[in-house]
Chains A and B, each alone.
Chain A
């Protein structure tokens, strides 16, 4: 990792410091200060900030594949939800006999559906390590199969965007079915504990926030490193001039596939961190609208800048929380307006605006490429 380069980039330093302080200070404030203190963060806000950070991680994953490789994925939410389901399955197995029906073998919804034995794909999810493996493998595998087929036959641009949307739509319909064995409409919920600790307790929530923050910082550094590596440069070149890179002798489809799978795994990780903090995972996470919201986070923040995606995700979601609380009707107007204004007026997002204002030195990867 090119540390010297990193310390010279002031924006990165600022974002990283901010992230690190949020990650460390909020859990500490929550745990150390008593509840009536002004510095105390309530369990609610800890969960809320934790949720924002998982969204930031999700936005980062999309920025990797859209900002760097120029593949506009309208189904990134599908990978997020798959990771979430893997985590949810582990948490369901942890409930044990404490469910409504008190069945040690089967989760409640299966008892309700009169199932007699656990489906084979639920095997092993009682084990935390295996579940974590599946958090990365399930989305990764789906992305691998889908991407391998798509990139090999050179499906690009809007076609790819639309079929990724169809993919998440198909998964949405599939997970709504009770026969799938993932809880159908209600999804997985009523979690009790994680690794033996009560999932409702403030300490566990603080630790989850800490883990999310650390994952985000790690992922940001990793993405930056990949972006600056030779691999990242080839990928950026593919975004800007795909056929030229192919003529130079690079196996374009393999590079794209690599980035696509990597981003899917990152999204899966984000989903896995999201589920214990909000306490539920259901098929609506697969809805095409959710995936499009991720795109708007990245677009608002500034595409192809990595930290822009984080800023965008946190800002848009904060706005969403505030607006849906204050006047629920206005939220979709704002979201719709944001889509239009950002694409028309600030193609580089907030980061682009700031750069122009402060005249920051643009990072090597932040050049806005050709339309993909």
Chain B
């Protein structure tokens, strides 16, 4: 599993540097000298530095020597000629401390601080440059533009630099960073980096990095003179799920402008073609898996938004047009929770699940007690009144927060994607929502099946009069049921806040869809809702490549409209006495 997190990538050199500075003494030398230099500028400065240096040189002659080599290389980069610079850069391959410095050089952020004759990394600021020490990473005072000189590069130097950085990255501790480095090397590979990859392969522990290195070597083998090696490479690459490998194999089968095959050897060509067929077959399978996954995740969203409705509409028979707005309340609860604890976004998201449930459930109970209970048995009037409630809630949110969309952040563990291979990656937030949807569904099912409230809900749904005769407080059960359905809408809102804009119109966008899901699945049937949600989600995503997103949605809507005409009671109609009402 690989998480492609930009933040993590930034962190890597950081961690690298800190462990390195703890382990290696020469780093200590430079940092100490700087630290002292900062504190006691003036008469004692040079003396102290000298003393410390002398002391260390005497004590540790070996590391002092490498320190010398390192310092020399830095000095050459700072003011040497272009040739010297290149040599210096190449000599830095052996030293893991230089990675950050070289990256800064590549980005044009490495400067010569003229006053102190040393290398610094600078980022632009209002005054001029904000500096950090190139080796220790220590923050230095801000300086004007003229105080520093940029270290210039030629194109030749740049390509050397790129290779050196790639090689340095091959040896970092973080496996993800190594993987990226290997992949970057594919584009521009020479014998030297090949050699590096081979040595790395021997000591490499991480399976993914190993596979990536092997793949690079195999692709390189395709160009070799030895026919058996090429055949072996093609056979091995057939099993790899790599876009690079597929592209390379593709070039083996192509013709040039004159209609001549680029590859003279027909055996190789045929083998490559056969390998491509295999790879493309797998590619199609992965594409299908991806479509199903997208469909399932869309379905999960539909199920989440419809499942509360399945309670209020399906079990109680109440048309709640404010259902979408209850989801909106859930999403805004998430927003508020994140505002309350801006430093713990992930925790805020977890906490907002019960909070959203509470908020939406309370509002739901208020709606039931205030409006709906006067309208039982009059579905059309209920529809109108709850629609009024939905307008009211929308405007309330608009007045309290803003008519504009609010941004809800995604915690780190939910962003990014699960890169299974080159052809298949699943985004985490969709994945979590799918899992969340199934959890909520199971929880709801258990509540209805195993708790006293669930029993009472089912009793009232089946026969209100009889339930009341058996001593069930139907009015309270109604309020609780409606609260449960509304609370689940709120929970759905938390999930929606992660994938869509949180704004006053969030509910409206889902209300038609969620009614469709409930009606399609069959009123009063929770499993029907689940099946219908996933079916519609997958159908939508399967149609999308052919028809486009909007047309796919229209087609699905038209399909449901026609379906309801054929089977007015949905996929799984209720049977028996309950169906009569």
Chain A interface (Cβ < 8 Å from any Cβ of B): 72, 146, 149-150, 152-155, 157-159, 161-163, 165-167, 169-170, 173-174, 176-177, 288-289, 292, 295-296, 299, 329, 331-333, 335-340, 342-344, 347, 371-372
Contact = CB atoms under 8 A, between A and B. Distances in A.
Nearest to A347: B381
Contacts of B564: 155, 159, 163
A286 B565 CA distance: 22
B512 interface: yes
Contacts of B558: 170
Contacts of B519: 159, 162-163
Contacts of B512: 162, 165-166, 169, 288
B148 interface: no
B496 to A, nearest CB: 19
A348 to B, nearest CB: 12
Given A167-B561, A170-B558, A174-B554, A72 B389 contact: no
Interface stretch (B289-297, B340-348, B391-399): B391-399
Contacts, number: 124
Contact of A169 (B388, B392, B557): B557
Nearest to B566: A153
A72 B380 contact: yes
Interface stretch (B51-59, B274-282, B370-378): B370-378
A177 B550 contact: yes
A176 B568 contact: no
B516 interface: yes
Interface in B332-384: 371, 374-375, 377-384
Interface in B537-566: 550-551, 553-554, 557-558, 560-562, 564-566
A57 B389 CA distance: 27
B201 to A, nearest CB: 53
Contact of A158 (B383, B392, B560, B562): B383
Contacts of B389: 336, 339-340
A170 B388 CA distance: 23
Contacts of A155: 564-565, 568
28 contacts: A72-B383, A155-B565, A158-B379, A161-B383, A162-B516, A162-B519, A163-B560, A163-B561, A166-B516, A166-B560, A169-B512, A169-B557, A173-B557, A177-B551, A331-B395, A332-B392, A333-B391, A336-B390, A339-B384, A339-B388, A339-B389, A340-B385, A343-B375, A343-B382, A344-B371, A344-B385, A371-B378, A372-B380
B565 A153 contact: yes
A197 to B, nearest CB: 38
B515 interface: yes
Nearest to B518: A162
Given A343-B384, A371-B379, A371-B380, A150 B399 contact: no
B387 interface: yes
Contacts of B393: 336
A176 B515 CA distance: 22
Interface in B285-306: none
A335 to B, nearest CB: 5
B319 interface: yes
Task: Give me the 9 closest cross-chain CB pairs, A-B, nearest first.
Answer: A339-B388, A336-B391, A336-B392, A332-B395, A340-B388, A170-B557, A343-B385, A371-B378, A336-B388
A129 to B, nearest CB: 32
Contact of A173 (B371, B379, B384, B550): B550
A173 B378 contact: no
Contact of A339 (B387, B396, B508, B566): B387
A146 B554 CA distance: 15
A299 to B, nearest CB: 6
A4 to B, nearest CB: 35
Nearest to B563: A163
Contacts of B380: 72, 157-158, 161, 371-372
B550 A166 contact: no
Contacts of B566: 153
Interface string B242-256: 000000000000000
B391 A332 contact: yes
A154 B551 CA distance: 28
Contacts of B508: 288-289
Contact of B388 (A167, A329, A343, A347): A343
B568 A339 contact: no
Nearest to B317: A158
Contacts of A289: 508
B387 A292 contact: yes
Given A153-B568, A343-B385, 12 more contacts: A149-B562, A149-B565, A152-B565, A159-B564, A162-B512, A170-B553, A173-B554, A174-B551, A176-B550, A336-B390, A342-B384, A343-B382
A339 B319 CA distance: 14
A295 B388 CA distance: 11
B482 to A, nearest CB: 16
B557 A337 contact: no
Nearest to A340: B388
A169 B568 CA distance: 20
A315 B375 CA distance: 25
A336 B550 contact: no
B375 to A, nearest CB: 7
A344 B385 CA distance: 8
A333 B561 contact: no
A337 B375 contact: no
Contact of B381 (A169, A332, A335, A343): A343
A342 B374 CA distance: 13
B568 A337 contact: no
A177 B557 CA distance: 16
